[in-house]
Copies of this chain bind each other. A is one copy, B any other.
Amino acid sequence: MPVGTQATVKTLTPDELYAMGAGIILSNTYHLHLRPGEDLIAQAGGLHGFMNWKRGLLTDSGGFQVFSLKGLRKIDDNGVHFSSHIDGSPHYLTPEIVMEIEQKLGADIAMCFDECSPYPCSYEEAEKAVQRTSLWAARCKESHSQADQALFGIIQGNVFADLRERSAREITELDFPGYAIGGLSVGEPKPQMYEMLDHTDTWLPVNKPRYLMGVGAPEDLVEGVKRGIDMFDCVLPTRLARHGTAFTHQGKLVVRNASCATEFSPVDADCDCYVCKNYSRAYIRHLIKASEMLAHRLLSYHNVYFLVKLMENMRNSIRQGEFTSFYEKFHQNYRF
């Protein structure tokens, strides 16, 4: 899922995302609640209407963002008091309030309000977040009533396998139509993240979508799919683009670097996207050096396309029973 935190996948239009084959995007309850507010969006016919997006839409609950506001928030079992990162204004979120906001936003999939523990953290702290996440998941389910919106549960547990297992058991007992794995890719070493995913097939039902939150490096998508993950979201493609970096089939390319100044080849010779068919590394590097927005736009387009196609290719390889060879080929070519 390309990420449209503030009701826009940065620099891109819905039409461009349709053309890439993107079927669903993610937006964020915390950000939209603060600006422009869920009531304005409801007036515009919900988030689909507001941002002119006609395909699938998922809203994250904002739990991750609120818990990232260190020093600006106070949490108890009922909910979270916090100060806006925009203007310092006081806000209060509970599972019930978040459900109300997400229903006003009207995405196809809403996420439960969860507590995401930081990395590193103690076992006790992680356990407390698991308990609260389960408590809040039950309250979210109880207060969520919009029939045409699916509500997904979120598994927490930090890097502790037994907490992950317990969280998965408690959340799946509530019977959601889909399950997310939250609180990973927050600073832990990659092998530790992969280890937490090793039991996905045991802990989560096979007949419901599994969504690994906030994960989006190409190698992590491949490792995630190998471990049974169906959905991902990540700001990486558009963030890297703003920093002048592109995904390629051979690994990341810093287009900003002087080495690209006289390269009249495309960003990625193995890519058939609009950008790679029409623009050179030298031109895009010039745009970066000249602080031209078209640089962000072209690299965002390419990077989002790269991940959308990577997922499409993995889906095709699974359908054809060839995921293992896909996996090996990916690792032969891709430099981390």
Contact = CB atoms under 8 A, between A and B. Distances in A.
B8 A289 contact: no
Given A43-B262, A293-B296, A286 B36 contact: yes
B294 A10 contact: yes
Nearest to A277: B52
Interface centre among A35, A40, A280, A286 (most CB of B within 10 A): A286
Contacts of A287: 6-8
Nearest to A300: B293
Nearest to A52: B278
Interface in A133-180: none
Interface centre among A8, A10, A261 (most CB of B within 10 A): A8
Contacts of A283: 7, 44, 50-52
Contact of A13 (B6, B50, B286, B294): B294
A293 B293 contact: yes
A282 interface: yes
Contacts of A296: 293
A191 to B, nearest CB: 36
Given A44-B283, A279-B52, A283-B52, A11 B289 contact: no
A12 B262 CA distance: 23
Contact of A261 (B8, B10, B12, B40): B40
A252 interface: no
A264 interface: yes
Nearest to A14: B278
A12 B286 CA distance: 15
A284 B280 CA distance: 31
Interface in A252-293: 261-262, 264, 278-280, 282-283, 286-287, 289-290, 292-293
B43 A264 contact: yes
Interface string A1-38: 00000111011111000000000000000000001100
Contacts of A73: none
A297 interface: yes
Contacts of A292: 6, 8, 10
A261 B282 CA distance: 40
Nearest to A285: B36
Interface of A: 6-8, 10-14, 35-36, 40, 43-44, 50-52, 261-262, 264, 278-280, 282-283, 286-287, 289-290, 292-294, 296-297
27 contacts: A6-B286, A6-B287, A6-B290, A6-B292, A7-B283, A7-B287, A8-B287, A8-B292, A8-B294, A11-B297, A14-B278, A35-B289, A35-B290, A36-B261, A36-B282, A36-B286, A40-B282, A43-B262, A44-B264, A44-B282, A50-B283, A50-B286, A52-B279, A52-B283, A293-B293, A293-B296, A297-B297
